Amino acid sequence: MRIVVQEINIPNTSLAICSLPRIDFADAFRCELPENQLQNIDSVTRAIFLTIPQWITALLELRNIIVRPFGLKTSIDVEPSNVQDELKPGTAVGVFEVLNRRLDEIMLGEDDQHLNYRVSVQLEREEEKCYVIISTVVTFNNWLGRAYFVPVKPVHKIIVPAMIRKGVENLASSIVDLRS
C-alpha cells in the first residue's frame, strides 16, 4: 500500500476548529487508511501517537533540552498514562492528554504559559474508504509562544505527515494493538 499524506483545510466538523478562542496557526493532513480492516478512532490514535519514528523522538529530546531553561513544559514533565481501551477525556495517549472525544474523533491538547494547542484525530468515511485527518490549532499566549513557534512550524509540517505514515504503516501490518 502506497501511503499518501495530503495537506488539507481543517474540516468544519473538527472539534479543534472551535476549541480555542483565537487561532494563530492551523493545519491539517489527511491519509487513507488500509482497506479491509476495522478501524476505530482509539486504535488509529494509538497507532499514530505511540509508534513515533525514532528521528522524531530524538528531535523531541533535543527540544526538551533547549526549552527547559525557559521554564516550558517538557515531555519529561508529563507522566504518560497507560494505554486505555477507550481514550477518554482525562486519560493520555503517550504524553498527549485527551481533552474531548466523540465517536470518530479524539482531541488532544494542552495549555501552557507560552501557547495553547489542540490536535484532533478524526476519521472520515467516504463510501468504502476511511481516512484519518490530523488537525492542529495553536494560540500564542505571548511573545515567547510566537518566538518558540518560528523554528517549530516548518518541522511540524514534516513531523505530522511522518507520524501519520508510520501509524498507517503499522495499522496496515497490524503491529498496533487494535483493541476496542
In a domain, residue 165? The reply is: yes
Instruction: For residue 46, give the CATH number of its domain.
Output: 3.30.530
Look at residue 21 in the predicted model and tell me its pLDDT. 94
The domain total for the chain is 1
Type and span of the H or E element at 170: helix 143-172
Residue 29 domain boundaries: 5-170
Instruction: Look at residue 72 and tell me whether its pLDDT is greater than 70.
Output: no
Indicate the pLDDT class of residue 170, thresholds 50, 70 and 90.
confident
The set of cell numbers assigned to 95 is 504524553
In a domain, residue 74? The reply is: yes
In a domain, residue 180? The reply is: no
In a domain, residue 146? The reply is: yes
Instruction: Look at residue 7 and tell me whether its pLDDT is greater than 90.
Output: yes
Instruction: Look at residue 16 and tell me whether its pLDDT is greater than 70.
Output: yes
What confidence tens digit (pLDDT) does each residue in 25-66 have? 999 999 999 876 667 899 899 888 887 667 666 666 766 666
Q: Check: CB of residue 29 under 8 Å from CB of residue 7.
A: yes
Q: Which residue has the cell 494505554?
A: 83
Q: Check: CB of residue 41 under 8 Å from CB of residue 103.
A: yes
* pTM confidence score: 0.83
Q: State mean pLDDT over 10-15.
A: 96
> Whose CA is closest to 108, among 121, 124, 123?
121
What confidence tens digit (pLDDT) does each residue in 125-157 have? 988 889 999 999 999 999 989 998 998 899 899
In a domain, residue 116? The reply is: yes
Q: State mean pLDDT over 86-93.
A: 85
In a domain, residue 31? The reply is: yes
In a domain, residue 178? The reply is: no
In a domain, residue 177? The reply is: no
